[in-house]
A = this chain, B = another copy of it.
Amino acid sequence: MHSLQFTAETTVDGVLERDFTVAGVPGVLWSPASATGRAPLVLMGHGGGTHKRWPAMTGRARLLVHGCGFHVAVVDAPGHGDRPRTPHDEAEIAELYRARAAGEPEGPIVVRYNAHLAERAVPEWHATLDALQALPEIGADGPVGFYGLNMGTAIGVPFVAAEPRITAAVFGLHWPDALAEAARRITVPVEFSLQWDDEHIPRAAGLALFDAFASREKTLHANTGKHKELPRFEADSAVRFFARHLGGTVTPAA
């Protein structure tokens, strides 16, 4: 097993924030600064073109730590954040920008490039979870959730389908093409967001991915607005979802 090395540590406003690496993959672990004993863990996947400290990541991490007392970990996806891009990464990103500038659909490029990144990222997530569970404050038998939208769903769906330690997941904002087959193997509770007026993902495609999950308990949250206009209150909903399924109660923001 690859072990986890902490490389930096700060505490801000009651949240202990530790940079770490596992087998060269850099991540951040947010934890309650005053915690005693073990607490559930939520793994979060960031979106395409962003990284482990993107505001959506730090904001959701703080909601989960403050609201539920959970640990929250994010790692940089391959080719993202502090990690180098391969020539293949560069070519796909250039192709995405070219299509965007030309007004062509982005979907086919995002779907195939994210599927490629998922193949690289899924083994890293298994190893990261192994290493995180070796920490005494997390432990090997506690509940673990996964929370990832956009590219975080493209990586998270195959990861959760293959990872029995994940017991609840929040997904959304992706196409079914490369994910429906893995989604049909997921049976844990799922909360899934899509945007009703998404200019990239056709409505029927988003509904088809939600439909594919085999989970007995799954909830679709569809909101008006375009691809990047997911309402902020969906992050609060995700916190309550994880509180229900990983154990714990939500403490409202002060």
Which positions in A face B, CB cutoff 8 Å? 196, 207, 210-211, 215-224, 231, 233, 236-237, 240, 244, 249-250, 252
Contact = CB atoms under 8 A, between A and B. Distances in A.
A224 B214 CA distance: 10
Contacts of A244: 233
Count of this chain's copies in the oligomeric assembly: 2
Nearest to A251: B252
Contact of A237 (B223, B237, B249): B237
Given A249-B252, A250-B252, A252-B250, A223 B233 contact: no
- Kindly name the residue among A222, A244, A250 whose own CB sees the greatest number of chain B CB atoms within 10 A: A222
20 contacts: A196-B211, A196-B218, A196-B220, A207-B207, A210-B222, A215-B224, A218-B223, A219-B223, A219-B231, A220-B220, A220-B221, A220-B222, A220-B223, A221-B221, A222-B222, A233-B244, A236-B240, A237-B237, A249-B252, A252-B252
A249 to B, nearest CB: 7
Nearest to A193: B219
A126 to B, nearest CB: 28
A224 B252 CA distance: 28
Contacts of A224: 215-219
Nearest to A249: B252
Contacts of A233: 240, 244
A207 B194 CA distance: 13
B221 A219 contact: yes
Contacts of A207: 207
